[in-house]
Amino acid sequence: MKQDNQKVITLKTLTKNNVWDIQENDVIRLWEGFEKEVDSKVSLQHYLDIIRTAFLMEKVPADKKPIKEKYEKMGYKIGHLKVVENGEKMMWAIKKRPISRVTDLTYENIHHITAAKLLEVVGRNFGGGWDSLSQSIQDIIESGFEISTTTLPKDRLRKAGGLYEKKVADGFEVLEIEKGTWVEAIFAKVKPMVEKPKLTFPSKSADDLEDEDGEFAMMNDDDDDDDELEMPADFNDDEMNEDNYRTTFEIESDEEEEAENLSDDL
């Protein structure tokens, strides 16, 4: 079993996303191969939980042939699997979970269906159109598909050169939902899978680190002499005069002098 990127799928590499890429017989083969490994009794329940996100699994009594045949008619595959540590193998009926309703859509399986299949599922939603879907379902769909809609009178929907014709030419599938004399058209196209770029930082050379250390040392020099104010090297005492030297200080008033001046004024 391989994914689109050609990586081989094993039980150890199985996730809730790529489990949708495999089928019932693949599950049986993967599990049987895992049972032969030394550490097979580790995390069996973990892998079983992953498989059950995409497959229905039912225990089948080994001595009940009619029940086994009933499951097979319903599309199940039968396999003997050991799903309990140190336990015996049991008969299991396995079937891929159907995606037949909008509530079956998830962020994991939305990337594993076609646009035609998506619109088939949407069309079963009581004929309510795109706006009838909950916001959460719309978000799931739009995570895997480009979606656009238009509602026009029947005789104008497929007008030459219009939106309908352009979307079909661009590879969109279309679902038409009649609403009286008007028609809502829902266009869907699979979004290309885009890998998110990883954020990397350039490594610094030893010289860069040495320069930074030197600069840091200069900025954090604790020499006590730096705390003293030094006169400029070209300062000349002879050049200081009343025009370029000024000091400010507070002169205390003489209360007796102020009283005398007040008496004179009176």
- Does pLDDT of 57 surpass 80? yes
- Does pLDDT of 230 surpass 50? no
114-141 pLDDT, tens digit each: 999 999 999 988 778 999 999 999 999 9
Sign of CA dihedral 60, 63, 69, 72: positive
Q: What is the pLDDT of residue 149?
A: 96
User: Among 69-73, 186-190, 222-226, whose mean pLDDT is lowest?
Assistant: 222-226
Look at 3 and 140; give whichever has higher pLDDT: 140
Q: What is the pLDDT of residue 127?
A: 75
Find out whether 57 and 94 touch, Cβ atoms under 8 Å. Answer: yes
State both tokens at 89. 């193998």
- Does pLDDT of 203 surpass 90? no
| Cα 47 from chain centre | 23
Query: If you ran DSSP here, which 8-state letter would residue 190 be given?
Result: E
Q: 145-164: string of b/e by CB count within 10 Å (b at 16+)?
A: bbbeeeebeeeebbeeeebb
- Does pLDDT of 251 surpass 70? no
- Does pLDDT of 171 surpass 80? yes
State both tokens at 50. 């992953």
Q: What is the pLDDT of residue 247?
A: 43
Sheet holding 145-153, edge to edge: 145-153, 182-190, 173-179
Q: What is the pLDDT of residue 61?
A: 85
Prediction pTM value? 0.65
Alpha helices in the chain (DSSP H): 24-35, 44-52, 65-73, 115-123, 135-142, 154-157, 163-169, 206-219, 255-265
84-111 pLDDT, tens digit each: 655 667 889 999 999 999 999 999 999 9
**Is 19 strand, coil or helix?**
helix
How much is the mean pLDDT over the chain?
A: 77
- Does pLDDT of 46 surpass 80? yes
Q: What share of the chain has pLDDT > 70, as a percent? A: 65
15-38 pLDDT, tens digit each: 999 999 999 999 999 888 877 665
State both tokens at 82. 């050991």
